[in-house]
Structure 1
């Protein structure tokens, strides 16, 4: 291939001209190299040279196609029936029959796709089939059943069924724009072709996904090629496999951009409220948060210690013990021995995970415990103000604690802004304004200022907390005034508990 060459294929029988580009061959070859690199049956033919025509030859016996379909949808075919040992023409036909029928089963349109056309290396047929398989595999993350976080892309008044039926490409663009909307000033794309050509939108997207690893650089017009190369470099830092070249973006290749964006969404969606700004920075924030949660318990002393505690599972055990100590101050010797055994088991389990996963586990455990403590307020008669019209007491008492907490927040912030409503503990809390409105109401301190400056809002919130709720066992960390759903839930739960809902005062005023 020559660089960015568009190849013309002539079908002698039908006198039809077909075209394909080097970008397609590169993208599919690298996709296969990445996902099938560890398959023992393919060791002799992988990796495929993405800058050659090897791809068309190496799919010819059907083995590679069957393997690719199986990782796209495990169980779509019986891998034990793939003829992998030097198949003859009859066994090759069996493989290709299995590949084509399985491709149809997972949703590929296989009209005019036949064994013979694949064996004869018909480029447009092979690339057309590969494109469908790759799309199904990568865009599976946009399935709301598999990834509920995708619902965060739904419009405020949009019907769920309508949203669920949107084309996958449209959801990718929505996801892209979701992150661009947090850029100042907000930006937007309408397609995955010319709108991405100069790399600027990619630069802003990557920065939103990880500010530390992907700082915004090279925005000048004459830095286009360098900027595009930097986009590729950043994506690899986030864990995106080699699937696109800067030339593909420059030439507005829609398929290559879709594959690239789908990989980004898979490895770093940014929809779960977390932005991985580098392990050290996140660990420092976690140290601050955990020590504030444990008050003077001395959970951890610093980043080095917490890193080790996370690895060996002891941190999780310490968090569990915080609640146990509140319920039972005197623990018997036999119980302590059992706890030591449990600690060893916890350590063994959590050593299997990476640090990031164990951080999430630690925070989720704290969240679970905070919400559990709210159950004691469920029967509080003063909470009836949160009960919806027509809702029975029984129905109200069965509401999950997290949803009850959302009602409490909305109850207060809607006093000053009746149209304002939060629906989640992630994006709605991003810059701290919701916290300021909430504190405004529950403290009775009117006129609390709030703006778009996240750092200033954080300082003001911390000052109010120290003044009105000195016993509150939490702090506002930089990672909390962002989109971290778990940490925002924890803080609101503790704020509710510290203020005891602050519904009782209004009730007393009636008397």
Structure 2
């Protein structure tokens, strides 16, 4: 397999066991049957978890270098790993004088952005014990896209980062494989420096607990939309919670649910209405123990009370899965 060898950051397998049980709606019988699309989907999710493990501010404070003028650390923390990768790539492309990209598909097909990205992140030998790696840009002027992509990947190989894509994958703009390629580049050569002497509230980067990560992984394993990147902030409109109710066979009347885009005026009220409905469903028909928990608590991102509801959702989900 061309993706290997690759080393992922250490993951607590006991912690990830349950979240992986239902990835891409796959069951043991599907693995035994060797259903290609489900097996490939499972493999992609596992690889993605490994690649994205350190692409968050709480684990890599140097990502704060990507802050834009007037942007707060809290706003940057709300970006998904994919959004952070795109911003990271554009940060280096802008410093190289090259144009920004909007995606890892159509905008990278000619490999030219990749050439500039590699040239920017390659070690310059300025740190003690760091060997200089020079990127040969001559392939940038190759007229054939496939040959240009191969030349680019030869330069990526100098960094030990040729995994995940072939020249054809680059030229076709395969979004998943190119995303994995860029994530691998970031993990090995982020080329970022943590900002100093800036008015940044670093206390926000306390990081999530193992329990919180388990809850978040479990939600994402069920395919909720949007993807949950930050447990409390991403539940403040209760849309994910309502989807979780459906997963445990608690009926949701979606005609009562407010969906984005929310109006500029009264947006929070619409989200609060969703949260109130989520608590209502939790009390009946789900029959959860929600004493002292109201919709306002979910909307406010109250950690203790949000976790109390989420824990009961996950426990019910496990019981339902084991009964199938």
TM-score interval for Structure 1 and Structure 2 normalised by the shorter chain: 0.5 to 0.7
1:148 aligns with 2:61: yes
| Alpha-carbon spacing, 1:74–1:100, altered in 2? closer, same or farther (3 Å) | closer
Give the Å deviation of 1:72: 5.9
Q: Deviations over 1:169-225 (max 9, x none)?
A: 1111101000011123x4100000010000111111111122752132233362422
Give the Å deviation of 1:236: 1.2
2:99 aligned partner: 187
| Alpha-carbon spacing, 1:112–1:100, altered in 2? closer, same or farther (3 Å) | farther
| Structure 2 residue matching 1:222: 3-state secondary structure | coil
Structure 1 segments of 4+ aligned residues over 6 angstroms from their partners: none
1:101 aligned partner: 18
1:216 aligned partner: 137
1:178 aligns with 2:91: yes
Give the Å deviation of 1:101: 2.6
How many pairs does the alignment contain? 191
| Alpha-carbon spacing, 1:244–1:208, altered in 2? closer, same or farther (3 Å) | same
Contact 1:72 1:136 in 2 (8 A): no
Give the Å deviation of 1:242: 2.7
1:296 aligned partner: none
Give the Å deviation of 1:271: 0.8
Equivalent position to 1:207, from 119, 125, 132? 119
1:168 aligns with 2:84: no
| Alpha-carbon spacing, 1:230–1:272, altered in 2? closer, same or farther (3 Å) | farther
Give the Å deviation of 1:119: 0.8
| Alpha-carbon spacing, 1:112–1:183, altered in 2? closer, same or farther (3 Å) | closer
1:76 aligns with 2:13: yes
Cα distance in 2, alignment partners of residues 207 and 263 from structure 1: 15
Contact 1:244 1:256 in 2 (8 A): yes
For normalisation by structure 2, the TM-score amounts to 0.53
Query: Which segments of 5 or more consecutive residues in structure 1 lack a partner in the other structure?
Result: 1-28, 37-70, 79-98, 274-401, 407-421, 425-511
Find the structure with the greater CA-based Rg. Answer: 1
For normalisation by structure 1, the TM-score amounts to 0.35
Contact 1:180 1:205 in 2 (8 A): yes
Cα distance in 2, alignment partners of residues 218 and 30 from structure 1: 23
| Structure 2 residue matching 1:141: 3-state secondary structure | coil
Cα distance in 2, alignment partners of residues 149 and 207 from structure 1: 20
Cα distance in 2, alignment partners of residues 240 and 74 from structure 1: 21
Cα distance in 1, alignment partners of residues 156 and 168 from structure 2: 15
Contact 1:100 1:110 in 2 (8 A): no
1:246 aligned partner: 167
- Please provide the CA RMSD for this pair: 2.7
| Structure 2 residue matching 1:118: 3-state secondary structure | helix
| Structure 2 residue matching 1:172: 3-state secondary structure | helix
Cα distance in 2, alignment partners of residues 252 and 241 from structure 1: 16
2:5 aligned partner: 34
Q: Deviations over 1:249-291 (max 9, x none)?
A: 0001001100100110011111138xxxxxxxxxxxxxxxxxx
1:198 aligned partner: 110
Cα distance in 1, alignment partners of residues 96 and 107 from structure 2: 16
1:157 aligned partner: 70
Give the Å deviation of 1:130: 1.1
Contact 2:62 2:192 in 1 (8 A): yes
Give the Å deviation of 1:100: 6.0
Residues 274-289 of structure 1 aligned to structure 2 (within 5 Å):
none
